[in-house]
Amino acid sequence: MLLQGNEAAVVPELPITNLHCHTFCSFNAYGYSPSGFAWESKKRGLFAAGIVDFDVLHGAQEFLEACGVLGLRGTAGIESRVFVPEWKDREINSPKEPGIFYAMGVGFLRDADPTSRPGQVLLSMASMARKRNEAILERLNAFLPAVALDYERDVLP
């Protein structure tokens, strides 16, 4: 299939899935928007695709709507990294990181209502993630002052 004006060929569906991709909602290195990842997945012929952003569900609804428009099987989820003090000396599911556990949830349709209990938990998780990202950026900026970034101006957009 060739899209008019876009000149981007879509590969016929293949027996390939990627159900674990991060969008720019979780500081993704490739800068994919939820719709952009859906399009890239369809273009490459994926059988199914899924997003699992860190600590947020901000892209769930957009991704699933894009999948619907494209006729792509899709799923949306959340991933969070936690420290389990009782297992501080054991590797759980993060190699060479004792005590670290990656927890995931899938099957979400949209972000939670911010006034609901789940919405309040997600807001708290997003706030903690932002603080963590800002702390990382602060350390990077101290190490690489020539390319210092501003979180509000350079990262969030």
Domain-embedded: residue 7: no
* Burial class of residue 137, CB neighbours in 10 A (0-12, 13-18, 19+): middle
* CB contact set of 84 (below 8 Å; sequence gap of 6+): 92, 99, 100, 101
Tell whether the model's pLDDT for residue 139 goes beyond 90. yes
Which whole number is the average pLDDT over 49-78? 96
Task: Answer yes or no: are the C-beta atoms of 40 and 9 closer than 8 Å.
Answer: no
The whole-angstrom distance between residue 37's C-alpha and the CA centroid of its chain comes to: 10
- Detail the DSSP E strand segments found in the chain: 17-21, 48-54, 73-83, 100-106
Which CATH number is 96's domain given? 3.20.20.140
Q: Do both 84 and 123 map to the same domain?
A: no
- β-bridge mates for residue 34, sequence order: none
User: In terms of residue numbers, what domain contains 143?
Assistant: 113-157
The pTM of the full predicted model, rounded to 2 decimals, is 0.81
Nearest alpha-carbon partner for 51 in 19, 73, 28: 19
Domain-embedded: residue 5: no
- Sequence-ordered alpha helix ranges (H) in 71-155: 117-143
Q: Do both 105 and 58 map to the same domain?
A: yes
Domain-embedded: residue 2: no
Confidence at residue 8, expressed as pLDDT on a 0 to 100 scale: 65
Query: What is the per-residue pLDDT across 71-111, written as a single tens digit (0 to 9) for each?
Result: 999 999 999 999 999 999 999 999 999 999 999 999 999 99
φ and ψ of 124, to 5 deg: -65, -45
Query: What is the per-residue pLDDT across 114-129, written as a single tens digit (0 to 9) for each?
Result: 999 999 999 999 999 8
List the end-to-end C-alpha distance of the chain, in Å, as a whole number. Answer: 32
Q: Do both 76 and 106 map to the same domain?
A: yes
Pairing state between β 48-54 and 100-106: unpaired
Q: Do both 61 and 136 map to the same domain?
A: no
Tell whether the model's pLDDT for residue 59 goes beyond 90. yes
Helices (H) and strands (E) in the chain, counts: 3, 4
